[in-house]
Structure 1
Amino acid sequence: MLCSRRSLVIVLLLSAASPTWAQPEDRARLVREAFASPYGQALTAELGKALRASAEPACLAEKGLAADQLELRGRDIIISWGTRMFESTGALIDRQNAANPFPGAAERERLERNADVRRFLAIEQPMRQAKILDLIIEHFDRYVLISRSKLGTVSPVATGNKELLDRNPTEATEDALEKFVAKSKSSALERFLRLSEQAALAQRAAISKTSVPPPLPHTYFRGIEKDLAELCIGSSK
């Protein structure tokens, strides 16, 4: 049975339920579901702390905003802009996949309906959602820094917030997946994992053929400072 951390990460990135492979209309739902997960709620709470610590009191009073309103409004802003990032990068990948189709795509899609594969994908959902969340928050933080917005860092990778890092389900999910695959005798699951690895290589090759380098992910947040200003987050520019 094919089983390695590398293979599991590949399946995560290529899962039909991941933002880049999902249908465009599904990507917004996937981002919302990620933020509704326990880890997403923990990151939202951390964002709320940063907003409350960084918002200008005089501005809050002028706008009639209460500090306890900032967290949910900030979450909605992050979801909106994070969805935009995944929709934009997903559209690029969609175009490259269409121009360079993976021969095993149809078989892989059929295998996703297999009971063992569906169980595998259900187990890995928390890790998939964590990957979505980490990408959004890390690139959001990067843009906030570059744009010189007066908002504290949220990503636990950057802050070293151990409590928040411990809420990330990735490691526990990887362990559960390895155990599941090790015990499985499913030829369908083995074939699915092999096709996923092949698809990853094909996708990487397809993207490398782009004549114009894709924008850096954090640039998809350009303009978010206007939304943050509505929450009384100033700029040091």
Structure 2
Amino acid sequence: MTRGILIVGTEASLSAAIAGEAAKRVESCAVAFIPNRLSASGGSGVSDTFSKALIPLIWNPGSPISSRSLTLAAENRLERIHEAILVCDPPPICRRPEELVSSDIDTMVNDYIKGWFFLVKELTALFKARKSGTLALVLSEIFRRGKDEPVDLTGPSIAASFRALAQGLLAASIGEPYEVLAFSTSEAGEDQAFASFIFKIMEENNKRTTGKWHKFGKLGLFGR
């Protein structure tokens, strides 16, 4: 049986790089990307990466029913989810506080904070019942900002929430039959190298790597 890999994340270049890296290893993997639904969406870099190896699935992050449906759909298409990789790399909103759009705030909370809790609930329940599985949480701490633009108020807040969730899951996984790993990077322009690093750690199957943060270092060096 081949590895069943599910990748869920922001529709951005990092998710694309991770999906591409998975496609090198398995005949097919399931992907569910969160589209950029902000009022001033700038598009994404994922669409060009789709290949015959990628099985696109739909996920509405703000719905607990959709999270369950996504898990079931991935199981049906892959036969079994062995590894689930969650990628948090939210789009920036570089606006002054008084210029924030209420609908964008609601979207960011639903898509990039609340949704992870619904999905983690479903995946950990599945892995616990099966007594096996790997949950990998991937965090980008690269906060993009154009010259002379206001600071991004939402991106760092979402990153902090995801980091806290990941830290809690790492602690909660002690004694559980499944594995939890966390990865982070603050290196811009290194998506492909970071994706390779993630799979390298996951495939080591070393107990010393589980339950820990793995930070991608500068100049392609890997730090833990």
- Structure with greater helix percent: 1
Length-normalised TM-score, structure 1: 0.28
Length-normalised TM-score, structure 2: 0.30
With CA pairs under 8 Å and 6+ residues apart, which has the higher RCO, 1 or 2? 1
Q: Select the structure of larger CA radius of gyration.
A: 1
- Structure with greater strand percent: 2
